[in-house]
Amino acid sequence: MQVLNCQLTNIKLLINNLSAINWTKDQFAKCSISEGGIMFSVEGSSKSFEAHAFIDSKFFTEYNFRGRQIELRINLSILLDCINIFGKSSYGISTGTKSEITYPDNQGRFSIKLEENDVVTQCSIAIIKIDEDEFYSQLSFDTSNNSVYLAMPSEVLKEIFNELDWSCSHVKITFSNRPGFISFQTEGTDGTCHIRCSKDPKIFSFFQISQTQSNKYLLNSLKACAKALNYSSKVSIRTNENGMLLFQHVLLSDSRQESFVEFLLCPSVDEDSDDESENNLQNLSTNGRFI
């Protein structure tokens, strides 16, 4: 039986990565442990979106795991409460939080030991083992073939998201090479909101649109991605020809280590329109939809 035993002095990296993919209480995550590191994946309730946080083995001061990948389901909210148990250190003379993660412990649970200033906390969380074929990532994105590829600082996207009307159900995001390059449109009972962004190279460190894309996405899914902006310094947006959206966040830790958190969103099928012919017309003009 493979056993994971690893030590981490930079617990903040783990806290930030997991917090970026945690947006509700009682959220479960798939935890995949391999020789390369630990991947935490969360599925959105609508099943049209997924989030992933990968903690590379190189971030650990010690990482011991040999053998085939193990997968399990763990309550992410409980895991976060445990690793956050010492809270933010208020007095600066803290020696930092040392942590040690073991799976499985002698009760078959996911165990975390944290130590800060001679105070020791031992946590042990029950998990559900996953059989090989049970949970598989339903969404995949081929990053070699993008219709759109943009990169910008997180504050910029955060500003845009702050302007959106979150009371609506959907947002229509359009990427095109014509002026008004990137636009976000919402339509709700309170009114319509249209945000347009220019192609300013001072903002976008990378800007490439090879195909016009205009798709609607569930705002609830975008909300989760918005939360991650609080933890990331840079974010890139990609779409493929089917309108799938990929947000890749770069989280920078104190020790200048970069870690990544991803969000994949499927575009919504337009169900509002009763007129079938209009629907078909829309489908034709926006390069098909991912169903």
Contact residues: another protein, CB under 8 A:
75, 77-78, 81-82, 84-87, 90-91, 117-126
Min CB(54)–another protein separation in Å: 24
For 2, 29, 55, 96, the CA distances from 129, given in Å and listed in that order, are: 13, 12, 20, 32
Compare residues 118 and 133 and give the one whose CB is closer to another protein: 118
Residue found by looking up tokens 């997924």 in the block: 50
Compare residues 83 and 148 and give the one whose CB is closer to another protein: 83
Q: Which string of DSSP letters, residue by residue, matches 8-77?
A: ES-HHHHHHHHHHT--SSS-EEEEEEETTEEEEEEE-TTSSEEEEEEEEGGGSSEEE--SS-EEEEEEHH
Min CB(85)–another protein separation in Å: 5
As given in the structure block, the two tokens for residue 24 are 């509700």
Residue type, 203: I
Min CB(98)–another protein separation in Å: 14
Min CB(91)–another protein separation in Å: 8
* Mutual angle of helices 76-83 and 11-20, in 10-degree steps: 150
Compare residues 13 and 82 and give the one whose CB is closer to another protein: 82
Evaluate the CA torsion angle 79, 81, 82, 88 in order and state its sign: positive
Compare residues 125 and 130 and give the one whose CB is closer to another protein: 125
As given in the structure block, the two tokens for residue 57 are 């083995």
Compare residues 87 and 201 and give the one whose CB is closer to another protein: 87
